Amino acid sequence: MKINNEVVQGNFIKRLNRFEAIVDINGEEILVHVPNTGRCRELFLEGVPVLLERRAGKHRKTAHELIMVYKDHRLVSVDSQLPNKLADEAIRNKMMKEFQDYDYIKREAVFGDSRFDLYLEKKDERAFVEIKGVTLEIDGVATFPDAPTERGTKHIYELINAKEQGYRACVLFVVQLDFAEYFTPNSMMDPKFGEALRSAKTVGVEIYAYSCHVRADEVYLYKPMEVRL
């Protein structure tokens, strides 16, 4: 996915709340929007270089969106809305071998008490796909979540329910960087999520992870990653 707006570099100063941060751009402290409500504490460090996309508009409080962070001279995408867009684009363009030949693709599909990111349908199959963006990398390992997630755990159990009702059920972890060796759930941070994921695997819920190619002017799904539960 191409980034068509102007991209500028700055240096992170501090996060004000879940949605806003202060960034130094050419010596001027600028208020920017943070499109990720996760903690991202290992990324949002004072002084680190960041990339900002200019998204000016009369209804916006800020003129810049913090879209990428440099971690050890390598880029990490932090836009939490991007994984859904990338997966949707890749599936529609038949770029993922795990999801081929679907005639109907719908975003935001309701099932039970949850809303899954994608609903896919073809002649002999109906499928739900829940997508999780991953920005946390520790010693070459991509992991999720970076904070306890009751909502994420609920989604996994709803996928188990969907599988038991005859749907194909999948979790796709979109790792928003290209320098991790494999993916694993962050059971140290959230044991219940890791337990739910392992339970899902035993009943046939499919678990996939893809890395992303991240550059200043584009981001796209790169290649499948090993998943270790």
The predicted model gives 11-16 an average pLDDT of 98
CATH of the domain at 122: 3.40.1350.60
**What is the dihedral sign for C-alpha 197, 108, 220, 215?**
negative
The predicted model gives 28-46 an average pLDDT of 95
Same domain, 70 and 91: no
Does residue 1 belong to any structural domain of this protein?
Answer: no
Number of domains in the chain: 2
Same domain, 65 and 87: no
Hey, is 154 helix, strand or coil? helix
Domain with 216 in it: 82-227
Which pLDDT value is given to residue 206?
Answer: 99
Residue 221 in tokens: 């799904």
Same domain, 30 and 88: no
Does residue 22 belong to any structural domain of this protein?
Answer: yes
Same domain, 112 and 162: yes
Which pLDDT value is given to residue 87?
Answer: 97
Q: Among residues 86, 85, 82, which one has the least CA distance to residue 35?
A: 82
Same domain, 18 and 55: yes
User: For residue 112, is pLDDT > 90?
Assistant: no
Which pLDDT value is given to residue 58?
Answer: 66
Q: Which amino acid is at 160?
A: I
Does residue 161 belong to any structural domain of this protein?
Answer: yes
Instruction: Tell me which of 77, 103, 129 is where a domain ends.
Output: 77
Which pLDDT value is given to residue 114?
Answer: 87
Distance CA 121, CA 202 (A): 24
Same domain, 137 and 198: yes
Which pLDDT value is given to residue 113?
Answer: 84
Task: For residue 8, name the pLDDT band (cuts at 50, 70, 90).
Answer: very high
> How many residues can be counted in the chain?
229
The predicted model gives 97-120 an average pLDDT of 94
- Beta-bridge partner residues of 37: none
Contact 84, 46 (CB under 8 A): no
Same domain, 144 and 86: yes
Instruction: Tell me which of 60, 77, 94 is where a domain ends.
Output: 77
Same domain, 101 and 42: no
The whole-model pTM stands at 0.95
Q: Which amino acid is at 210?
A: Y
Name, in order, each residue with C-beta under 8 angstroms of 162's C-beta and a sequence gap of 6 or more: 111, 112, 116, 128, 169
Does residue 37 belong to any structural domain of this protein?
Answer: yes
Same domain, 88 and 193: yes
Distance CA 34, CA 157 (A): 30
DSSP letter, residue 80 = T
Q: What rounded mean pLDDT belongs to the chain?
A: 96
Instruction: Tell me which of 77, 108, 126 is where a domain ends.
Output: 77
Q: Among residues 15, 41, 12, 20, which one has the least CA distance to residue 147?
A: 41
User: For residue 59, is pLDDT > 90?
Assistant: no
The predicted model gives 197-223 an average pLDDT of 98
Secondary element (H or E) of residue 85: helix 82-92
Same domain, 223 and 127: yes
Same domain, 63 and 124: no
